[in-house]
Amino acid sequence: MRICRIGIRNFANFRNFEVTTGRNIVVVGENKVGKSNLLFALQLIFDPSLSERDRRLGLEHFWDGLGDDKLGETIEISVDLTDFDADPRLVAHLGGYLIDPGPPMISRLTYRYQPMASLEGQPGSLADYEYLLFGGMYPDTPVGSTLRRMLPLDLLPALRDAEKDLANWRRSPLRPLIEDLAGILSVADRDAILEAVDGAQAALSERPEVVAVARTIGRRLEGMVGPAHATSVALGLAPSRLDALLRALRLLIDRGERGIAEASLGTTNLVFLALKSLELDRLIQDGERDYTFLAVEEPEAHLHPHVQRLVYRHFLETAEVDDEDVDEDEDPPERAGDATAGRHVTILTTHSPHIASIAPLRSIVLLRRQADGSTEGVSTAEIPLNDAEVDDLQRYIDVTRGELFFSRGVILVEGDAERFLVPAFADALDIHLDELGISVCSVSGTNFAPYVKLLGPSGLRIPFVVLTDRDELPDGTALGPGRVRGLLGILRPGRDYEAMDEAEVFRRGALRGIFVNSSTLEPALFATGMRRQMVRVLKADLPLRRANRELLDGWEARPSTLEPTGLIKLIERIGKGRFAQRIAPAATADRCPAYIREALERIRDEVA
Amino acid sequence: MRLRSSSAAYLRHAGDLADNPGQQAAYDSQGHCVVLAGPGSGKTKTLILKLARMLAEDVRVPQGVACITYSQECARELKRRLEPLGLGEAQNLFVGTVHGFCLRHILMPYAHLADIGLPRRLAVATNRQADVAFKVVAERLFGLNQPHKRDDMGRYRRVHLDREAPDWEADPDLARISEGYEATLRRQGLIDYDDMVVCAHRLVSAHDWVLPAIAARWPILAVDEYQDLGVPLHRIVTRLAFEGGVRLFAVGDADQSVYGFAGSDGDLLLELAERHDIQRVRLELNYRCAGRIIEASEYALGETRGYRPYDEERLAVIRFVERPGGLADQAAYVIDTLIPEALAAKDERKLGDIAILYRNAAVGNAFADALMAAGIDFVRVDTGAPYRKVELTSWIEDCAGWCSGGWRRGRPQLDGLLTRWVRFRTSLSSEREANKAKNLVTAFLMRNRRDDGPAAPFVAAIRRDLVDPLAREEPSLHDQMEQVHRMGAAVTAGGKLEGLDLVGLGGRDGSPSHINLLTLHSSKGCEYDVVMMVGMDQGVIPWNNESGAELRESRRLFYVGLTRARDAVHLIYSGWIDGRYGPRTFGRSSFVEELETRLLAAGQE
């Protein structure tokens, strides 16, 4: 099962919000854009620990943009669920709330906070409001607490105090594991344990020194309240009942040398998450739950980046196991010892590129503020990408590129050379990419299509420009125009770009943010004032034969004589990326190739 | 730790089944199971324990067991018997009528997703609305003196399910009336009771996706009194069970099928029992009737069933009594001779252990008048009763039972009363409002606790404080309110139940101090020490022109009457009946004639 759509009206940051979602949901967005509010919205529907009072919202929960007109408005949160057809228990929970019989079936759950239906006229205050939780299309089908109990949302908040939760017996995820212990131990084992503990206890508490201390306390007590009221005291280790003993078990770390209270925040959180994961397994196995929506707010808190990646890959991947893959007769797939495999989805909110980088591509939900102050959501769930493109992007989005999802604008470039030089030229042009939230991303080649789909109008709708080479071949034809035609086909389908000549294609490309040079980057740079630095670096870094030095001098003196292939061969001996780094300090505004400048100015204007 | 979701109280009673192999087999069944249960065979007990076991062992919330019964009354009786097992209001147990199940669990969740021509909000037509719609359509089509009756149309709709089949045109007049009638109701956004089943059948048969949805929610379907449930339900059940994977547990007795006139058919049960993929269990031990009554009933039926009495030793009385003076003479004999005899025959026997059974209300009227005149308290269940039992009147009766001492024992359970109250209202939007409504009822009931007193002020108070305001908000209760009005009138001065006390109102079913007066049809499922079958004259049972299937059904009705008795059956007749133009002499009932002949023949062997 999965959530396939979330709709929110008039709630917190959301005026009229709708987003389609994939199996897991990784919510990314800037601070204060409404990530936590999105989780709260889901809690209103799914969280069994929320009280009646919590579900009666306050004025502060209405969309801010309503200003003084909040009373009388209705808050509505609806979630569509799908892909549960194969599990009769889930169908039993949700089959009464269908909005589409499918296949696959889709059911809808809705929370609505509204002026009371019985009210005549305008509500005078929130006392005239009521909330409804209903399923399907119509509010006369209430959703009961059984659903919340058996398909609950578990929220681990950002500022959780893992140490306190572990210490609090009633709330500790350790508790059920230890309670199971009591059932496993045989009577003989129990007796042996008690005997051993009693022995140890006696060894300590019957020492005369210890007894003396107890007696001192006893005498003082008697002195204070007299013998009738004084209780007798003794010093001992632990209550000698087995269940109490088991409860006294504590998690120890570092080979038992330290208690969890002394551990670092990171370790505590890690242990907490491991116990939480075991708890989910157990709840499913015991039949107390049929499904869990595990929501973790800002999982990056207190965790080292590597550990972040490992831990959340665990949660996300066990959830990605499809329901039909969970088959007891088959060899368990990697990590699928977990009973929760296929029985939970993970919902994360994060601003960590580390987490974003390990998120399944289809799981990203991007929140961003719109002009009216409300938040819109876009997601990767339904971007028309084929499997190869998904794989390509999934490989591509590593830690450094995870920041793509947090960018306000993206400059897509072919390789490392552009990745070093474009920021340098941007600085020179007074366009400060970091401040503007613009990332430069290399696609390591010329296959821009998946990225354009990801960022483009039917994707995340993040403004972007493409910088690419015209790539003229020895026979005089060029690869660039075909590439641009392909991208235009994605961005603005329905035109016959094949019939257009190169100039027309490039003109239209530029209108859509695709900028092309005349051949490749390095010759284009050589045509500018950069060539001095280029020649200097080549001479300095390469052991050049005399003939080559003279050749370079000749090209520098008369740029029109440049043989592009010869130049590139020399540069490749250093490595294009390294070479670019070396010449970058020489970047100035007037040395910037025109196509780069146009691209930078365009993206600057678009994110403004 | 696993949460226990269902009461385990049934385990204490399960041992009772061990000495009855049939009951035990039904209780142990794992797959589809049909229980063919003769009279007095303990079928309800078996059903109750099996329901409890399946709830505890075979399903877990949100999945549940749906138990469909013939009438509101049967459903209430089942619920009453489930209550001591801790299953009075189990959330994953549905106990209700076919109509209730079709409406609540087939049409309401799924009909709006399929185009079967139903309005989205399913409002149920009141009896009057349905009458008007029928009359308008029938008269428009066939003139003011058109001969068709609403019942004929109802039956036609229940029997001819497939509108596309040539079969639908078997009676073109009724087909046109049905179509016009349905269109008229739909224009008003209404459906009637037949629509619930007919449309549910249409939905289930035409839309495959509905099957897994229903099967997931209700993986087990139990049906009580299967023989009475008719073709549409049979089709729904077979589709769900054999194509949808729902497990079926059906209980019934084809010999007690007496609703053929309404479209039901006992053969459907036998057809079901013949399937190779169903476990068939026969309950052959009769706990109720003495051996001789069992013997007599098989003669009356004309078939040998091989039922055996549980208690071989018990003696029975079967008497044939002719009172040539007509119904008044019969009544006088019953009152002056039979009742005193019956009460004297056994210690502790009370009026409540005696029943007077008859075929039609006219006979009932004669006996009611005579009993009234003789000052004998009686409870009457038929169309001539002071009021008909509907959910709302049953609820008022149970409230009376709770207030008149029931609260001390927790029977009926307060929570059940509150839940039923909330369910009367379709428009409660939130839990808060529901709680408010419950608080109102609780306060009323607490206020009105008294151990005894007259029923009339109680009925007036509960109407004023609770029922009448409810009825103003819920027009759908219109039909039921008619019965509440009749109840109110009956208990006040000059009414048929004048002077009834609170205990009496609360214990209207099975009151020990009232003799039972009911039609043969209403007597189904009941049992009494002594049964007096009165008005057993040719021309009434069977009716004069009966033959074929109708005659067989009358015979089964006669059989049902006989098998209500534990110890004694009196068959009373005059040899003539009142016709429209005076007395007509057809002799005593041919069933009685036949029975006596056979008993005599058997006695001579």
Give the 3-state secondary structure of A361-405: HHHEEEEEECCCCCEEEEECCCCCCCHHHHHHHHHHCCCHHHHHH
Other beta carbons within 10 Å of B566: 20
Return the pLDDT at B427.
Answer: 63
- Output b/e per residue, A260-288; b: 16+ Cβ within 10 A: beebeeebbbbbbbebbbbbbbbbbeeee
Q: How far apart are CA A451 and CA A415, in angstroms?
A: 14
The percent of residues above 90 in pLDDT, for chain B, comes to 40
The whole-model pTM stands at 0.81
Whether the pLDDT of residue A323 is over 60: the answer is no
Angle CA(B312)–CA(B316)–CA(B320) in degrees, nearest 5? 150
Chain A interface, best mutation among B429, B433, B474, B476, by max A CB count within 10 A? B429
Q: What is the mean pLDDT of chain A?
A: 83
3-state SS of A61-129 is HECHHHCCCCCCCCEEEEEEEECCCCCHHHHHHHHHHEEECCCCCEEEEEEEEEECCCCCCCCCCHHHE
Candidates A66, A68, A41; CA nearest to A54 is A41
Average pLDDT over residues B258-268: 81
- In whole angstroms, how far apart are CA A34 and each of A281, A374, B159? 30, 9, 59
For residue A85, give the nearest of B109, B212, B426 by CB distance. B212
Candidates A301, A298, A300; CA nearest to A349 is A298
Whether the pLDDT of residue B561 is over 90: the answer is yes
Residues of A with CB under 8 A from a CB of B: 52, 85, 88-93, 95-103, 105, 116-118, 130-132, 136-142, 144, 146-147, 150, 179, 286-288
Return the pLDDT at A326.
Answer: 41
Residue B63 at interface with chain A, using a CB cutoff of 8 Å: yes
| B477: three-class secondary structure by DSSP | helix
Please count the CA atoms within 13 angstroms of the CA of B536 that sit on its side-chain side: 31
Contact B437, B419 (CB under 8 A): no
Beta partners for residue B280, in sequence order: B34
Phi, psi of A533 (to 5 degrees): -65, -35
Residues of A within 8 A of B121 (CB-CB) are: 140
Cβ contacts of B554 within 8 Å, gap of 6 or more? B541, B542, B543, B546, B591
Q: How far apart are CA B139 and CA A515, in angstroms?
A: 81
Return the pLDDT at B127.
Answer: 85
The pLDDT-based confidence of A7 (bands split at 50, 70, 90) is: very high
Summarised one tens digit per residue, pLDDT across range A45-99 is 999 988 888 888 888 899 988 888 888 889 999 999 999 888 888 998 998 899 9
Q: How far apart are CA A111 and CA A131, in angstroms?
A: 7
Return the pLDDT at A317.
Answer: 73
How do the residues of chain A divide into helix, strand and coil, expressed in percent and rounded to 5? 50, 15, 35
Q: How far apart are CA B520 and CA B538, in angstroms?
A: 16
Residue B210 at interface with chain A, using a CB cutoff of 8 Å: yes
For residue A92, give the nearest of B62, B110, B207 by CB distance. B62
**CB < 8 Å from A in window 106-145 of B:** 108-110, 112-114, 120-121
User: Residue B543 carries which DSSP code?
Assistant: B
For residue B213, give the nearest of A95, A118, A137 by CB distance. A95
The pLDDT-based confidence of A319 (bands split at 50, 70, 90) is: low
- In whole angstroms, how far apart are CA B287 and each of A461, B161, B253, B348, B476? 78, 39, 16, 20, 42
Return the pLDDT at A46.
Answer: 93
Summarised one tens digit per residue, pLDDT across range A550-601 is 888 999 888 888 888 888 888 888 888 899 998 988 888 888 888 999 999 9
For residue A88, give the nearest of B3, B219, B431 by CB distance. B219
Q: How far apart are CA B146 and CA B135, in angstroms?
A: 9
Whether the pLDDT of residue A9 is over 50: the answer is yes
Beta partners for residue B68, in sequence order: B96, B223
- In whole angstroms, how far apart are CA A281 and each of A287, A289, A320? 10, 10, 15
Residue B94 at interface with chain A, using a CB cutoff of 8 Å: no
Average pLDDT over residues A109-128: 86
Candidates A174, A108, A164, A115; CA nearest to A136 is A108
Candidates A565, A551, A555; CA nearest to A531 is A555
- One DSSP character per residue, B318-364 reads EEEEE-TTHHHHHHHHIIIIIHHHHHHHSTT--GGGEEEEESSHHHH
The pLDDT-based confidence of A335 (bands split at 50, 70, 90) is: very low
Whether the pLDDT of residue B211 is over 90: the answer is yes
Distance of CA A225 to the CA centre of its chain: 62
Which one of A6-10, A459-463, A585-589 scores highest in mean pLDDT? Answer: A6-10
| B430: three-class secondary structure by DSSP | coil
Summarised one tens digit per residue, pLDDT across range B106-143 is 998 899 888 887 877 778 888 888 999 999 999 999 88
- Output b/e per residue, A24-44; b: 16+ Cβ within 10 A: bbbbbbeeebbbbbbbbbbbb
User: Residue B511 carries which DSSP code?
Assistant: -
Contact B87, B52 (CB under 8 A): yes
Summarised one tens digit per residue, pLDDT across range A177-187 is 777 777 788 88
Report CA torsion sign: B504, B510, B516, B519. positive
Q: How far apart are CA A219 and CA A16, in angstroms?
A: 72
Return the pLDDT at B532.
Answer: 96
Whether the pLDDT of residue B147 is over 70: the answer is yes
The percent of residues above 70 in pLDDT, for chain B, comes to 97
Contact B76, B394 (CB under 8 A): yes
Other beta carbons within 10 Å of A359: 27
Q: How far apart are CA B186 and CA B123, in angstroms?
A: 10
- Whether B213 sits inside 8 A of A99 (CB atoms) is no
More confident of the two residues A356 and B395: B395
Average pLDDT over residues B285-310: 88
Q: How far apart are CA A166 and CA A277, in angstroms?
A: 14
Return the pLDDT at A149.
Answer: 87
Look at phi and psi of residue B342 and say left if phi exceeds 0, alpha if psi is from -120 to 50, else beta. Answer: alpha
Q: How far apart are CA A595 and CA A262, in angstroms?
A: 58
Residues of A within 8 A of B423 (CB-CB) are: none
Phi, psi of B381 (to 5 degrees): -120, 95
Provide Rg for chain A, Cα atoms: 32
Please count the CA atoms within 13 angstroms of the CA of B386 that sit on its side-chain side: 23
Q: How far apart are CA A233 and CA A275, in angstroms?
A: 37
- Going along A148-289, which residue ranges are E strands? 153-156, 252-253, 258-259
Q: How far apart are CA B342 and CA B354, in angstroms?
A: 8
The pLDDT-based confidence of A238 (bands split at 50, 70, 90) is: low
- In whole angstroms, how far apart are CA A420 and each of A175, A220, A442? 54, 78, 10
Chain A nearest-CA distance from B422, in A, is: 14
- One DSSP character per residue, A265-299 reads HHHHHHHHHHHHHHHHHHHHHTTS-S-EEEEEE-T
Whether the pLDDT of residue B23 is over 80: the answer is yes
Whether the pLDDT of residue A173 is over 80: the answer is no
Whether the pLDDT of residue A407 is over 60: the answer is yes
Phi, psi of A22 (to 5 degrees): -95, -155
Contact A340, A285 (CB under 8 A): no
Residue type, B298: E
Return the pLDDT at A399.
Answer: 63
Candidates B560, B485, B471, B570; CA nearest to B523 is B560
More confident of the two residues A548 and A118: A548
Strands A129-135 and A292-297 come out as unpaired
Return the pLDDT at A336.
Answer: 38
The pLDDT-based confidence of B511 (bands split at 50, 70, 90) is: low
Q: How far apart are CA A596 and CA A590, in angstroms?
A: 12
Chain B nearest-CA distance from A286, in A, is: 6
Query: Is cis: bond before A103, omega within 30 of 0?
Result: yes
The pLDDT-based confidence of A334 (bands split at 50, 70, 90) is: very low
Average pLDDT over residues A115-130: 83
The percent of residues above 70 in pLDDT, for chain A, comes to 93
Which ipTM did the prediction report?
A: 0.76
Residues of A within 8 A of B213 (CB-CB) are: 91, 95-96, 98, 101, 105
Return the pLDDT at A240.
Answer: 66
Q: How far apart are CA A252 and CA B210, in angstroms?
A: 54
How do the residues of chain B divide into helix, strand and coil, expressed in percent and rounded to 5? 55, 15, 30
**Residue B164: both structure tokens together:** 């596309």
